Each structure stands twice: as structure tokens, then as C-alpha cells.
Homo-oligomer: A and B are copies of this chain.
Amino acid sequence: MTAEAILNKMGITLPAAPAAVAAYEPWVRSRNLVITSGQLPWLDGEMAYVGKLGAEVSDEQGYEAAKLCAINALAQLKAAAGDLESIHQVIRLEGSVHSAPGYRGQPKVLNGASDLINEVFGSRGQHTRTALGISEMPLDAAVQLSVWAELES
């Protein structure tokens, strides 16, 4: 089954790739690499999850926010590659979680992105990850996620 068919079976339709919020591009292709800019939890043009984990945002909401960032990243990868089947390997997720003092659940939150990538791409989705808890996030978003992927030759 294709990555997009798996997404559809999960009830997910890829949105239009969100525009960048400032003077940069949402993705760039460099030879066999595709890199996305930091994706935020946009849904239908609205920031769907705002605030900090450990305060206004629950762990479950954080997981959904990370999943939504990953869906937006997939839309960028599709825009860059033409087709998700052209992705040879997702190589890296860089995640930042907007964190209130003392919050330590960043890895579980970012699993919202990792679980989706793993399910959609199978072995092609096996990725490295970084997870930071930061105090101040652009636009008060709950999560930010960048994705690096290798394209088929």
C-alpha cells in the first residue's frame, strides 16, 4: 500500500502544504535531500494547539499537536517530492516542545509525530530524532517539528 493510501485508511487527508510564516521557504530540495522548515500545528489555517505542555496543553493534546505537525510535514514532503513514494527514507525529526517549568514528557509528545511517520512509511520511516523542551515558541505553538528525508535516486 502506498504511504498516501495508508494515510487515507487512517482517515487523514493531506492538507495543502502550509505556507511559511516569515521570509523563508517551507521546504528545500538539495540533491537527494529534502528538508522542511519548522512545522507548526496548523489545521485549516488556524493554530490548533497553543500554549505550554505542563500547563495549558495536556500530554494527549501535545501528542495530537506533534501528529498534526507531522501531517503538515508530509504535505511539504509531497510538495517537494511530487509523490510520497519518492521518499526513500525519512532520516530525521527535530522536535521542540513548548514546555512549562518542570515538564519532562517531551519524548511521549513527539511520539505523536514518530508514530505517524513509522505507520505511514514502515521501514522507510525509521528516523533519528532530537527532542528539546523550550521555554518560548513562535506563535505560542505547542510543538515545532522539522523533517529531513532522502529521496530515491
Contacts and interface: CB of A to CB of B under 8 A. Distances in A.
B127 A25 contact: yes
Contact of A24 (B38, B101, B114, B134): B114
Contacts of A38: 129-131
The quantity of this chain's copies bound in the complex is 3
Interface in A121-136: 126-136
Interface in A85-130: 89, 91-94, 96-97, 99-104, 106-108, 110-111, 114-115, 118, 126-130
A46 B34 CA distance: 36
A89 B30 contact: yes
A106 B37 CA distance: 14
B32 A31 contact: yes
A132 B22 contact: no
A138 interface: yes
Nearest to A90: B28
A31 B150 contact: yes
Contact of A22 (B89, B92, B102, B111): B111
B140 A23 contact: no
